[in-house]
Structure 1
Amino acid sequence: MASRVSNLRESPLSGKRIAFVGCGVMAEAIAAALLRAGLVSVHQLTGGEPNARRRQELIARLGLETTPDNVAAVRGADLVVLSVKPQTLEAAMRDLAGVLAPEQIVLSIVAGATVRRLQEGLQHERVVRSMPNTPAQIGHGATVWYPAPGVTPQDEQLVRTVLEAMGLAIRVDNEDMVDMATALSGTGPAYVFLIMEALIDAGVHLGFSRNIAEQLVQQTILGSVLFARETGKHPAELRNMVTTPGGTSAAALYEMERGGLRTVIARAVWAAYRRAKELGAGMPNGGPSDL
């Protein structure tokens, strides 16, 4: 208990209040990460959430104080985390337009929502745009973030502390990189999970039980990532290390290349990037595509 109190005293978030507007999975992940790291106490957090069942879940899981009133949720908060779905962003901004005090910081995790759109919709200048990903829920996330020009170095330190509680956090100077990160790392876990699913199914087709196939695939992917980080080698070099001429890896990789795996992945990332741009332009039902 003493160490937790000490952490709270040393934290840049000490005495700061954080409000979540929209309390879905990622908002819960951020709150849980901050509490797990001892950076805040639950009394420093509040949430605006219209769904009564979801409010009860958050009380049961985290002890998080919630309200159906977004204006009440953000009142007195130092940092407002805008964590609604892109499709409900306009409604949330209408609730908060002109309500936020000049010193309050808005941290958006809404896919595609540009700084300009947020500033105009909220009638507020101090906005930080970010894109975390799903592994943030277990402290191994990757987040890219971009501060608007009006955000101070002190504001940035507060935001950085929040985002680094979830894992890697990279500040960028070009806002378009947030959309790029949405397509690469934000959506990236879905690509990895699909590859995992395909490998597991292939293992079952070979004759493994699903349980054994899952264990082998999970450990193979985890071990490969850790090995790449440990060695620091280029992926192509690592691939060559395990590809013997005329061997099993060479046969498998030939089929992947013949099937256009690289092209499919590249097209998928570009499709996600364009979709992020569509969401940013306020087209929740999609827009024109050249695919």
Structure 2
Amino acid sequence: MEPENETHISEFLLLGLSNEPELQPLIFGLFLTMYLITVFGNLLIFLAVSSDSHLHTPMYFFLSNLSFVDICFISTTIPKMMWNIQMQSKVITYEGCINQIYFLLLFAGLDDFLLTVMAYDRFVAICHPLHYTVIMNSRLCGLLVLVSWMMSALNSLIQILMMLRLSFCRVPEIPNFFCELNQVVRSACSGTFLNDVMVYIAAGLLSGGPFIGILYSYSKIVSSIRGISSAQGKYRAFSTCASHLSVVSLFYCTTLGVYLNPADAHNSHSSAIASVMYTVVTPMLNPFIYSLRNKDIKEALKRFIEQ
């Protein structure tokens, strides 16, 4: 078989979470509910921050961007999944799969970068409070978000260009409810060494780097909080980081829980179920974490709803 004939596939098959027909209505209803909760919750936070002048600060500017990214992130996978269940189909076109991988990588990378930027914001606020407004000016905040978009878009583009060189001998069956990069690469019948190398490099630079940055920021924050004499001051300083730290822990624990599994786990439905945690559950819980633990957000939401 010649390579040029191997790549002429027009579709992929998404095996989903279950092959049981009687479970499909339950899965559809569950994911529709989680999708609506995620979109509504993150949209409320985005609108509340945008409309309330009291929240026009760097911390909430980054939070509104995170909420927008989470809406886009979950919208990359769930609508297609629900459409396939409704149509009783497992098909996603080749172009659709490529687009889905691109935007998944884009918004996952943005989540990672924004959480790192937010950790830096908390580091400056707690460790250098007198210079906070000077350091975290509007120009720097905009630049940090812009660089995050550019880095994520560049990584997504490189990974997609590397994937386009792969050959497929038959219609690939992806044991997931969306086109997950590693699973698509494994289904190729051509050599994937360069793809694997690029994935590891990207993981090291774009995931490991931000994670180290977050750890460094919080090590400095903890040292600074320990230097505060009063218990009330310590509590006030830590409370400003509690929501962000909760979201960081949720994001990294769910992501690492999927990608640190043994390689053969990616070929089973257990991987698809685990993927639900970071693609669906994490974006859904973020607005609850920030609103329940943040007095300013709760008051802004109350004012926004009462308008």
With structure 2 as the length reference, what TM-score do the two structures score? 0.25
Question: More helix by proportion, 1 or 2?
Answer: 2
Higher RCO, 1 vs 2 (CA within 8 Å, ≥6 residues apart): 2
Question: More strand by proportion, 1 or 2?
Answer: 1
With structure 1 as the length reference, what TM-score do the two structures score? 0.26
